[in-house]
Amino acid sequence: MWKAVILIGGPDKGTRFRPLSLNQPKPLFPVAGVPMIQHHIEACVAVPNLQEIILIGFFPEDENLKNFINHCRKEFNISIRYLREFSQMGTGGGLYHFRDQIMAGNPSGIFVMNSDVCCNFPLSEMLKFHLKYASPSNSSTILATNVPSKESMFYGCLVENEETKEVTHYVEKPESFVSPLINCGVYLFSTKIFGMLAEAVLRNQEEMYAQGVFSDSLSLSLEQDIIMPLTDLGSLYAYQTTSMWSQIKSAASAVYANKLYLSLYHKTHPHRLAKSEEGGPMIIGDVFIHPSAKIDPTALLGPNVTICADVRISAGVRVRNSIILNEVNLSNHSCVLNSIIGWKSTIGEWTRVEGTAQQPDPNAPFAKIVSGSLFDHEGKLSPSITVLGGNVNVESEIVVLNAIVLPGKDLKSCTKNQIIL
């Protein structure tokens, strides 16, 4: 029996995702038509004998989160629950704090996943690899992928023995190049990790005691307190993937992840991809349309477009490479390119909301392939897409280019390369 834990962080995390994380927890932001972490959950459900999925974070358990969990329980007929950290406990602290709940039922191992990665989550393949290469009761498996050398330093970097697949060296976000093979933030851990976490807690307590610092806060790092000791013990194995993988840190990277997940739907959920049909809008490439959206047949959508629930799209509208969130209204002949339009926003007639999809410069240092052309080398909010927060009203016949607009704003004139606070 296996279990899965998804680390969803909390309100202090996801700052690079603002203003979109102001309205709802970032892990619930829709990418390719479903909340970001539903992609993780769907992958878990496909693993034979995976019996429970536990979300660990420090978000308040609001209606959004409750509704999402209830929806997934019903849809996937699996036990899913949210365990809330009383304060931010780091990537390893929640695993330790909730160890009894995680270990209930005596699972053979635990998948752990970062919520902010976009991936085809080859969990069943990882499991097969784990049973073949690792010694499942003692060893753990990490999902790894190759990235360009200069980019690798933004991630955990690992070196493996190519024959045995054992990880021989691991450095978290090194200052100089170590290896192009990086940690994808997806693991299959042996239950031995709880002993390691207990040792880390003891070490921290001893250090605090020696320094005369007394605190009841618990913070552990999955990378420092599990991955590195596992590597030292020769108990970590790398399963390499050459399939899609990217982080979702900024709003721009969500547009890129949207493109990746839509392309994955050809294999996993072809029914989620819209097609041009008589009486419907013209569709180019990969497009998701929520069934409740109302779209004029003269609209032209795609490629790489997600239209969420209750959106209204009028005559002659063009949308490309964009995410249109719930209840947005795109008026006649408006055009949205390389953008995210926030919940309940309104775009006036003949208005153009656009980001610049720059062609990647192959000679640029730190060109970030995992992000395509849509975000800068540090993965920060790129000026190359336009993001409108919720309830933004853009008047008719204006142009909004490469702008970030905070929720509730009323744009009456053209704007370019600006952050509208």
Binding site for ligand GDD (CB under 6 A): 7-9, 13, 56-58, 85, 88-91, 94, 114-117, 155-156, 172, 182-185, 223, 247
Residue 1 CB, shortest distance to ligand GDD, in Å, is 23
Distance CA 207, CA 16 (A): 33
In contact, 28 and 68? CB cutoff 8 Å:
yes
Residue 7 CB, shortest distance to ligand GDD, in Å, is 4
Looking at beta carbons only, is 9 or 107 nearer to ligand GDD?
9
Residue 156 CB, shortest distance to ligand GDD, in Å, is 2
Looking at beta carbons only, is 7 or 392 nearer to ligand GDD?
7
Residue 369 CB, shortest distance to ligand GDD, in Å, is 15
Go through the chain and tell me how many residues it has. Answer: 421
Residue 399 CB, shortest distance to ligand GDD, in Å, is 35
Looking at beta carbons only, is 94 or 407 nearer to ligand GDD?
94
Segment (H or E) for 74 = helix 63-76
Looking at beta carbons only, is 64 or 396 nearer to ligand GDD?
64
Distance CA 185, CA 182 (A): 9
Looking at beta carbons only, is 183 or 306 nearer to ligand GDD?
183
Residue 99 CB, shortest distance to ligand GDD, in Å, is 14
Which tokens in the block code for residue 300?
A: 């032209």
In sequence order, what are the beta bridge partners of 400? 353, 415
Looking at beta carbons only, is 65 or 337 nearer to ligand GDD?
65
Residues in contact with 366: Cβ distance below 8 Å, sequence separation at least 6, in sequence order:
150, 151, 377, 378
Residue that the structure tokens 């019996």 belong to? 51
Residue 378 CB, shortest distance to ligand GDD, in Å, is 11
- Helices of type H across 241-400: 251-268
Residue that the structure tokens 């978000």 belong to? 59
Looking at beta carbons only, is 18 or 409 nearer to ligand GDD?
18
Looking at beta carbons only, is 183 or 382 nearer to ligand GDD?
183
30-31 and 34-35 beta bridge pairing: antiparallel
Distance CA 91, CA 175 (A): 21
Residue 371 CB, shortest distance to ligand GDD, in Å, is 12
Distance CA 359, CA 28 (A): 30
Task: Say how many Å lie between the first and final Cα of the chain, rounded.
Answer: 50
> How would you write 167-217 as a 3-class SS string?
EEEEEECCCCCCCCEEEEEEEEEECCHHHHHHHHHHHHHHHHHHHCCCCCC
Looking at beta carbons only, is 134 or 157 nearer to ligand GDD?
157
Residue 90 CB, shortest distance to ligand GDD, in Å, is 5
In contact, 303 and 286? CB cutoff 8 Å:
yes
Residues in contact with 131: Cβ distance below 8 Å, sequence separation at least 6, in sequence order:
none
Distance CA 344, CA 321 (A): 19
